[in-house]
Each structure stands twice: as C-alpha cells, then as structure tokens.
Amino acid sequence: MLFNKIKKHILGIIVGISMVGCIESSFVLAPESRLPKWFNEPNGLPRSEYRVTMDYLTNGDAVFKLFKSEGDFHIKTVTGTTQGDRPRKLKITPSGFPKNYPLYEIITVNGITEIIEHRKMEPMFYVVDDPLIYREFGVENK
C-alpha cells in the first residue's frame, strides 16, 4: 500500500516537471543588443542600465528576466513560446561565423514575436533587427 502511494507521488512529480519544464540552458543579452520589445525601458533610462537573462526550458518555453544593472534589481519576468523543436539556420550562412552558427529562435511573448540570435557557442544572445532575417523566417517585423 505504501509502495503504491510512493509510486503515485513520484509519477506526479515527473508529470509536473514535464508540464512546467526544467532549465535546459541560460543566456545573457549582449550589452550592444537592444531589449526585446516585450520589455519597455522604464523611466526612459538607456539600454546600458538594464540586464536581461533568458532560460530555455525543456518544455519549449523561454523565460526572460529584466534587471536594473545597478544593484541587480529584478524588474520583470515574462515567459515566451519558441516556434519549432530546434533552432533555425539561414539558407545562406553569413561569413565570419563559427561552423553551425548563427542559430535563431523565434519566440513569442504576449503576442509579440522576436527573433533571437546565437552567434557562437557562448552564454550570450542577441535580438535580431535585420528585416531580411525576419522575411526569410516568415516573421512579421513590427
């Protein structure tokens, strides 16, 4: 009887984790990249006053956290959904990138879609502004 209760409890934990997702990988927004559109720069401060982290979850979501750089004050957290089950590549790889890069993820948060770029294997990401990349992936760039 006790063994069956333990099995049900463990199964519940496994199901719960699969629904929520575990962190698969973590990144920080490059200082020279703009903030994603779903974060408004509060108080009109410059981009340099903010830090953004992104965690990819095993369930296909991506969690973004906005911090005030000074004091590392947490401002906002949003969760987005990635399109597809793997990163995308451009049809023609630009020169100057390591093999198998750049990679792109299309992520939507609260109806706003951004393309995230990974330029090489590092814990850094960039927000794409190039309309040609948006066009190639069929994403509307507002």
Distance, in Å, from the CA atom of 80 to the CA atom of 86, rounded to the nearest integer, reads 15
Determine contact, residues 139/106, Cβ cutoff 8 Å.
yes
Q: Hey, where are the domains in the chain?
A: 22-136
pLDDT above 60: residue 40: yes
> Which helix (H) or strand (E) is 3 found in, with range?
helix 2-20
**How would residue 41 be classed by pLDDT, with cut points 50, 70 and 90?**
low
pLDDT of residue 71: 77
**How would residue 16 be classed by pLDDT, with cut points 50, 70 and 90?**
very low
Q: Is the pTM of this model over 0.85?
A: no
Smallest CA-to-CA distance from 88 within 133, 28, 127 is with 133
Determine contact, residues 29/125, Cβ cutoff 8 Å.
yes
User: Is cis: bond before 102, omega within 30 of 0?
Assistant: yes
